[in-house]
Amino acid sequence: MKFIKLSLSVALITTMAFAEEEKKSDFGVSANMAITSNYIWRGMTQSNNSPAVQGGVDLEYKGLYVGAWGSNVDFGDTKNSLEADFYGGYKSELYGIGFDIGAIQYAYPNMSNEYNFAEAYLGISKEWEKFGVKAKYSKGIKTNDLNPEDCWEVGASAKLPYDVGFSAIYGDYHNIGTYYSVGLNRAFEKFELSVAYINFNHETDSSADEENVVGTVTFRF
């Protein structure tokens, strides 16, 4: 029993020391895991209207960051069931305006030539006490196999009573379609609950239009 108490005490002291050191450091590590009723990307389901389990990890140093994120996917065939994204960039603030510039690689292990593509992006944002706005432009990077379309989106967020958050996004995926979403979220100590209505209108094929109500539980570490 004494050994257990001693071990717990040492663990507690070590944890507190590490936490204090982490506060002083410019280096940050964070991780997240989510369970969602439908994986939606730019208004379109990536999981064939089925649930998805997702997770990622991010490393940051003085505004520079790199990260990896993954999710199960379902495109109606048996070639692949995984998406893995790898990204990096720099984010900071200038004259009260936040900016984020970087690049992302979307990878599908068993569909390298058919689906893999990359984008460079630039995002800007502005936050007030209870309201925020943001905008993002993503530029598709052309390869020998693909010429991805560009995309832009704008969004707004607001803090509502009872610690509830509201968010809205409108985007245009060039030559593919437009999309918008409106949602509510509520953050707790280690997790967040959110629900959103998401609508997608295809550029030329109305049969490919989508509308979904999506619920998500996100855990942050």
- Split at pLDDT 50, 70, 90, the class of 17 is very low
Report the SS3 class of residue 45: strand
Enclosing H/E stretch for 212:
strand 210-220
Which amino acid is present at 187? A
Dist CA 109 CA 126 (whole Å): 37
Helix (H, G, I), strand (E, B) or coil at 174: coil
Residues spanned by the domain of 10? 2-220
Collapsing DSSP to helix, strand or coil, 7 comes out as helix
pLDDT tens digits, one per residue of 48-65: 999 999 999 999 999 999
Q: Note the pLDDT tens digit of each residue in 171-185.
A: 999 999 999 999 999
| 44 vs 76: CA distance, rounded Å | 13
CATH number at residue 102: 2.40.160.40
Mean predicted confidence (pLDDT) in 29-36: 97
Which DSSP letter does residue 42 get?
T
- How many folded domains does the chain comprise? 1
Task: Confirm if 134 and 155 have CB atoms less than 8 A apart.
Answer: yes
